[in-house]
Structure 1
Amino acid sequence: MFVSCVSKKDIIYFQNDKINQSKVSNSYKTIIKPDDLLNITITALDIEAVRPFNLAAVTYATSSNSAIGVAQQQSYLVDTNGEIDFPVLGKLKIGGLTRDETINLLKSKLSPDYIKEPNVNIRIANYKISIMGDVQRPGSYNIPNERITILDALALAGDLNISGQRNNILIIREEGNKKVQYEVDLRSNNVLTSPVYYLQQNDVVYVEPNFAKIQSASANSNTSLVISISSVLIAIITILTR
């Protein structure tokens, strides 16, 4: 019954609709959001000038009876107001800005008063996505290059199980102070032009199982109960018919 409920048209990807090339874009913009942990590095020809803006965080490892300090790059947590507390410059509102906009903001604050022709590099240290539901390997995945499509994400999770529904993949995204839901149909080429084709940090991808798998799971959970009741009924009938 389970196999008969899955047809070819429900499984094959990209079988419907032509690709609208005018809507296909390879551009991708990272949006800074609350709870992002940022590594920000300032460089310039004048090494001494940039030193106050590249403060090192120090951790200590206890070995024997001595403490050894290990310098690490300072990270900045974006608070709920979308702000970070940056050395010398103080509070900076960067939530909702793209990476390029944030870089330009820092450059405008640093030059020319503090640093001449500064270079700014920003990386999100805790960039991750979560994949749930009817896939081979559900879980949270760290994305070091901060660029991933929904197809890449599903590939990381080992692809959908044969029972996963291709026509309504759910993406949950935080936009502003709201959780927004998008639905994607993997059977259609329109997935390539979807606003969620490129995922953002902390996006959640959910794959719903098909009706047959849900029914199968329900049947399996009731199997022991049915067997117990059947055993009792058979025992009663056996006693009565003796």
Structure 2
Amino acid sequence: MNSKRRSRYFFRLKIFKISFAVIATSLFLVSCGNTKNAVYFNNPTSLAINNEIADLEPVIQSNDLLSIVVSSVNAEAADLFNLSRNNSDQSSLNSGNTFKVSGYLVDQDGFINFPILGKIKASGISKKTLRDEITSRLVSEKLLLDPIVEIRYLNYKVSILGEVKNPSVLNVPSEKISLLEALGMAGDITIYGRRDNVTLIREENGVRRIRKIDLTSNEIFSSRYYYLQSNDIVYVQPNKAKVASSTGTKEWIPVVLSAISLAIIIAINVK
């Protein structure tokens, strides 16, 4: 092999190595996803959930709309404490139509205005605590005999945003929904969503707090954030593949591959 042929051989070999490295890098950028981050619960094991955590009752917040129904052996006397249609809160729809909702809106100071009893502090406590407070005052002030107070949320909702199939605001009539159920109702996390870094935004005692949740770990089952509370916001972050595609990283890859192919062809055919 003369020197000219030998230099041509090493030139082709060098082109091949460069081409191989660039193609491998390109394929890595296009696909190379970590399957560990694409599935839930990588280490499934038997697990018992602490009931004290699972049954943690949410606290009432400002702007919550509550249904409070009072009953007693004296039905006529109990009616004085129940909202009639005439006293219902009137709300407006985007279309301009109005509808009436029978409920107590917790004001910005955290109070509801209850018939006869007046203003009662509601925010920062659970439904059970508020129910006990109203029941106790009805009895102590001799307004009703053996009253029964039932309280429900009328606007219990959670928001699911980001890399899910159907981002939406979910109404929860049952007043109990887990993070996994909410994601399922939103169509589940897409292949481009980060299951290891889901953001939960929750308002607690007037302070908005941000929590990071790893759905690839079993720890979610024992977390106090397993069940969502009213007005919780869940945001699923996009993974690197989605960010790369949205910023145009993939757009130059076909151009690079074409240039490499052309360089290889030229190198092979050089005399």
TM-score (norm 2): 0.73
> Is there any run of 5+ residues in structure 1 with no aligned partner, and where?
60-69, 227-242
In 2, Cα distance between the equivalents of 1:55 and 1:80?
Answer: 21
C-alpha displacement of 1:12: 1.5
Q: Which residue of 2 aligns with 1:32?
A: 60
CA–CA distance in structure 1, aligned partners of residues 237 and 169 of structure 2: 17
CA RMSD, 1 decimal: 2.4
Shift in Å at residue 15 of structure 1?
1.1
Which residue matches 2:20?
A: none
Tell me if structure 1 keeps the 8 A contact 2:54–2:224: no
* Residue 236 (structure 1) aligns with: none
Percent identity of paired positions between Structure 1 and Structure 2: 38
Q: Distance in 2 between matches of 1:107 and 1:183?
A: 39
Distance in 2 (alpha carbons) for counterparts of 1:73 and 1:161: 36
Q: Report Cα offsets for 1:132-157 as digits up to 9, x if no partner.
A: 00000001111111100100110010
Q: How far apart in 2 are the matches of 1:82 and 1:178?
A: 14
Do the aligned partners of residues 167 and 115 (structure 1) sit closer, same or farther apart at CA in structure 2, a change above 3 Å counting?
same
Q: Give the structure 1 partner of residue 152 of structure 2.
A: 123
- The offset of 1:193, in angstroms, is 1.1
Offset, 1:55: 2.7
Task: Give the 3 Å change call, closer, same or farther, for CA 73–174 of structure 1 in structure 2.
Answer: closer
Q: Find the counterpart in structure 1 of residue 21 from structure 2.
A: none
Larger displacement relative to structure 2 (201-210 or 23-32): 23-32
The structural deviation recorded for 1:3 is 5.8
Question: Aligned pairs, how many?
Answer: 213
What are structure 2's unaligned runs of at least 5 residues? 1-26, 89-98, 256-271
Q: CA deviation at 1:178?
A: 1.1
Farther off after superposition, 189-198 or 26-35: 26-35
Pairing 1:21–2:74 present? no
Give me the whole-angstrom Cα distance separating, in 1, the residues matched to 2:101 and 2:188.
36
- CA–CA separation in structure 2 for the residues paired with 1:10 and 1:96: 37
Amino acid at match of 2:152: R
Q: Is the 8 A contact 2:244 2:250 kept in 1?
A: no
> What is the TM-score of this pair, normalised by structure 1?
0.81
* Greater Cα radius of gyration, structure 1 or 2: 2
1:140-196 deviation per Cα after TM superposition (whole angstroms, max 9, x unaligned): 111111100100110010100011001010000001121101111111010011121
Work out whether 1:87 is the aligned partner of 2:115: yes
* Residue 168 (structure 1) aligned to one of 187, 190, 197: 197
Q: Which residue of 2 aligns with 1:7?
A: 34
Q: How far has the Cα of 1:51 moved from its partner?
A: 1.4
Compared CA separation, residues 220 and 138, structure 1 to 2 (3 A): farther
Q: For residue 57 of structure 1, report the CA deviation from its aligned partner.
A: 2.4
Conserved? CA contact 2:165–2:190, under 8 Å: yes
Whichever residue aligns with residue 139 of structure 2, its letter is S
